[in-house]
Amino acid sequence: MKLQELGEFKLTKLISEIIDKSRCLDHASWQDLSIGPGDDAAVWQSSNHTQMATTDTMVQGVHFDLDTVTWEELGWKALAVSLSDIAAMGGIPQYALVSLSLPVELEAESISRLIKSMTCLAGKFETAIVGGNLTSAPNVVITTTIIGYSRSEILKRSTACAGDHIAVTGYLGTSAAWLKNLLGKTTLDARSQEILRRAHLQPTPRIKEGQALVQQGIRTAIDISDGLIADLKHICESSKLNAWIGLEQIPVHPLVKLNFPDYQELALCGGEDYELLFTANKNAIDMTRQVLSCPVTVIGEITEQAQPEHVVLRDKKGNIIPHKKEGWNHFGNEFSRAKLT
Instruction: Please state the closest distance from residue 53 (CB atom) to a second copy, in A.
Output: 6
Residue 87 or 299 with smaller CB distance to a second copy: 87
Instruction: Please state the closest distance from residue 52 (CB atom) to a second copy, in A.
Output: 10
60-68 contacts at long range (C-beta below 8 A, 24 or more positions apart): 60/139, 60/140, 60/141, 61/139, 62/330, 62/335, 63/337, 66/140, 68/182
Instruction: Please state the closest distance from residue 106 (CB atom) to a second copy, in A.
Output: 5
Residue 86 or 267 with smaller CB distance to a second copy: 86
Instruction: Please state the closest distance from residue 89 (CB atom) to a second copy, in A.
Output: 11
Residue 135 or 290 with smaller CB distance to a second copy: 135
Q: Smallest Cα–Cα separation from 205: which of 266, 271, 122, 132?
A: 122
Give the torsion sign (CA, 74, 78, 81, 83): negative
Residue 44 or 171 with smaller CB distance to a second copy: 44
Residue 54 corresponds to which amino acid? T
Residue 1 or 306 with smaller CB distance to a second copy: 1
Pair 228, 268: CB distance under 8 Å? yes
Give the torsion sign (CA, 25, 26, 32, 36): negative
The residues facing 92 across adjacent strands are: 149
Between CA 180 and CA 183 the distance in angstroms is 5
Instruction: Please state the closest distance from residue 210 (CB atom) to a second copy, in A.
Output: 17
Instruction: Please state the closest distance from residue 150 (CB atom) to a second copy, in A.
Output: 14
Mode of pairing for the β-strands spanning 276-280 and 296-303 = unpaired
Pair 142, 74: CB distance under 8 Å? yes
Residue 62 or 287 with smaller CB distance to a second copy: 62
Between CA 229 and CA 336 the distance in angstroms is 13
Instruction: Please state the closest distance from residue 326 (CB atom) to a second copy, in A.
Output: 16
Q: At what angle do helices 190-201 and 71-87 cross, to 10 degrees?
A: 60
Pair 76, 59: CB distance under 8 Å? no
Residue 19 or 321 with smaller CB distance to a second copy: 19
